[in-house]
Amino acid sequence: MATITKRRWLTSKGEVREAWTLAYTDAGGKRHKEQFPRKRDADARRIEVEGQVSTGAFRAAAKDTTVAQVVDLYVEHLEGRHARGEKVTAHYLKVTEGQLRNYVAPEPGRAIEFDGGIGEVRLAQLTARTIGEFRDRLRDSGVSVITTRRILGSLSRALSFAVANDLVAVNAAQGVRVIGRRDEGSKRVVPPSKAALALLIDNAELDFKVKLVFAAATGLRASEMHALRWNRVDLDGREVIVDSRVDAYKNLDVTKSEAGTRTVPLGQGVAVLLKDWRGRSTHAADDDLVFPNSRGGFVDHGNMIKRQFNPLIILAAEKAKEDRKKFEPFGWHALRHFAISTWIEAGLTPKTVQTFAGHSTLAVTMDRYGHLFPSSDHQSAMDKIASENFA
């Protein structure tokens, strides 16, 4: 039961002051008091509190805790998990902190200037509408659909943390959608052509050619490939076990998801190429990396792209121009797309493709690569309908 009483007092100067005090008890039996300058404000708060208490949604901390404070607590929580090795990589921590402190609760002096954040909003006043308006400000400032979705995802996870710690009862960010134009959002994957990849491989140096072929055949992510050790490669059985990855900060971790731990078969030609590579490598022990740097450590992927891959792309484009052939430049990750497209072309089932690719769900595979699966059965069905009805 909530009560409102009028309070009067004299200031040190003898002036009369008055206010309205709202007193109420939460579901846990704890007594609370709040003061308001006007009775109608106290009444509005009383109605709000009684509704929250009756539904179990009341959290005392919500009226005093801001979104910025939740961001600080959540980032501190992630830092702790990272220090303990609890599935928070340095890259994930950096990206999440950047999204929260550049956009959700902007801090002065950051590289990105955005003045439409919600850091000062108290959790008690945070609603789906508040977050929807925040989303709209992001889009109006030029933030893409994909980035906006990622920012709201980080905000939602921070608010879930707040819910778990009884700072607020409801995650207001859940269910807030980001809808872009038809030409925005996820794009269908278009893998490099076989001719383009062949041109790249033909112009690569011998050692780098092994990396290109391996990536284009196995579909391993760059982080997985750079973490691969010889004790995870069975050259006789012709398969690779993928169970780890390394991030940009040289931190070793498990695969991106549970589905990322997998076994990928090797074609005979790829196995022969790897066997020859191991014979030439100065780091060929079982515990050594398959593709190390000159000192046997993790390769810096950015440097590899800058010093080897990008110059090779330029060289291939020049060769194609000389021969009057078409060549579309592509990035390293496109080698993974190429591998998956060849599996589809070879007739592997969607579920097998998902397994070899290490996708978390079949939906991910079909969303990105569904258009590449052959539709001969669909075509045959349409032919039958046409012959029976329109011939």
| 69-165 against 194-372: fold identical | no
Q: CATH number of the domain at 194-372, please?
A: 1.10.443.10
Torsional sign, CA 133, 138, 139, 145: negative
Q: Which whole-number Å values give the CA distances from 344 to 7, 264, 314, 350, 372, in the listed order? A: 76, 15, 29, 8, 7
Single out the residue of 213, 228, 359 nearest to residue 298, CA to CA. Answer: 228
pLDDT of residue 384: 64
The SS3 of residue 89 is coil
Spatial distance between the Cα atoms of 85 and 88, rounded to a whole number of angstroms: 7
Query: Is the pTM of the predicted complex or chain greater than 0.75?
Result: no
Q: Using one digit for the tens of pLDDT, what is the confidence trace for 332-375?
A: 999 999 999 999 999 899 999 999 999 989 988 888 888 888 76
Spatial distance between the Cα atoms of 69 and 59, rounded to a whole number of angstroms: 16
Q: How confident is the model at residue 377 (pLDDT cuts 50, 70, 90)?
A: low
For helices 194-202 and 310-322, the axis angle rounded to 10 degrees is 110
Q: Is the per-residue pLDDT at 385 higher than 60?
A: no
Q: How confident is the model at residue 387 (pLDDT cuts 50, 70, 90)?
A: low
The SS3 of residue 319 is helix
Widest CA span in the chain: 101
Q: Which whole-number Å values give the CA distances from 346 to 146, 304, 372, in the listed order? A: 32, 31, 11
The SS3 of residue 263 is strand
| Helices and strands (H and E) in the chain: how many | 15, 8
8 Å CB contact between 245 and 89: no
8 Å CB contact between 124 and 62: yes
What is the 8-class DSSP label of residue 193? P
| Residue of higher predicted confidence among 297 and 169 | 297
pLDDT of residue 233: 97
Q: Using one digit for the tens of pLDDT, what is the confidence trace for 14-39?
A: 889 999 898 888 766 788 888 889 98
Q: How confident is the model at residue 112 (pLDDT cuts 50, 70, 90)?
A: confident
Percent of the chain with pLDDT over 70: 91
pLDDT mean over 309-324: 95
Per domain, the residue ranges of the chain are 3-58, 69-165, 194-372
What is the 8-class DSSP label of residue 173? T
Radius of gyration of the chain (CA): 29
Spatial distance between the Cα atoms of 299 and 289, rounded to a whole number of angstroms: 10
Q: Using one digit for the tens of pLDDT, what is the confidence trace for 157-210?
A: 999 999 999 888 889 999 899 987 765 555 678 899 999 999 999 999 999 999
- Domain 69-165 grouped into CATH 1.10.150: yes
Single out the residue of 291, 265, 129, 144 nearest to residue 209, CA to CA. Answer: 291
